[in-house]
A = this chain, B = another copy of it.
Amino acid sequence: MDKEISQAVIARLPRYFRYLGELKDSGVERISSQELSRLMHVTASQIRQDFNNFGGFGQQGYGYNVEYLYTEIGKILGLDKKHHLIIIGAGNLGQALANYMNFERRGFIFTGVFDINEKLHGKMIRGMKVRPMEEMQEFVRENNIDIAVLTIPKEGAAAAAEKLVGMGIKAIWNFAHVDLDVPDSVQVENVHLSDSLIKLSYMINQYENELEEKEKNASGEA
């Protein structure tokens, strides 16, 4: 059995993939862990360790072939496969994601939008008409939907998630501000925007407190 890959490594993979994509696009053919280290502001040692979780992609004395590494990491990330995706909740955020995310670029196929609000039914969002929630089950089955993007208020999120689990969905990209309780067979990635903004508030506060302390110390020494 393969060794378990740590969450820390997994969280770093998309960033490697992004940098390698940019290097590839700008025509860079090869790169050493040290060069990549300088570019990404992480240690060369960590880069080599991370890659070696998945096998040896480099060559001693040469470094890594950018295009090859990019492709391999893409495969590790499952980006060589197509994923069919629906959006649950056609409000501000749901609409924005549909229009903004450029899903198709990475093999995510935007297939439908659902909302409980009757007034939205039939409205077109990125070429798809908004459907009532009642049609979801049939739709998911018929269109082989893998991923549900949950952009509804937190009150309805748990119930929606349970329904989705029952339909055999593989993953939920959760923007609702609750932690969903689903079986291990269903993958959940949370995007808790409020938590992220609150963290920013903490960092501002922290920095200002440190400044104050420094000033106090400086005046004390003077």
Contacts and interface: CB of A to CB of B under 8 A. Distances in A.
Contacts of A200: 147, 171, 173, 187, 189
Contacts of A81: 201, 205
Contacts of A107: 201
A67 B171 CA distance: 35
The number of times this chain is found in the oligomer is: 2
Contacts of A201: 77-79, 81, 83, 106-108
A122 interface: no
Interface stretch (A90-98, A132-140, A160-168): A90-98
A186 B178 CA distance: 30
A191 B189 contact: no
B91 A204 contact: no
Contacts of A222: none
A187 B171 contact: no
Contacts of A218: none
A177 B17 CA distance: 12
A203 to B, nearest CB: 4
B197 A189 contact: yes
Nearest to A81: B205
Query: Interface residues of A: mostly helix, strand, loop or mixed?
Result: helix
A201 B108 CA distance: 9
Contact of A203 (B99, B177, B187, B213): B187
Contacts of A76: 202, 205
Contact of A99 (B92, B184, B205): B92
Contacts of A5: 206
A24 interface: no
Which of A191, A200, A202, A213 has the most C-beta atoms of chain B within 10 angstroms of its own C-beta? Answer: A200
A24 to B, nearest CB: 16
7 contacts: A14-B192, A78-B202, A78-B204, A93-B96, A101-B193, A187-B203, A189-B196
A158 interface: no
A100 interface: yes
Interface string A1-29: 10001000011011101100000000000
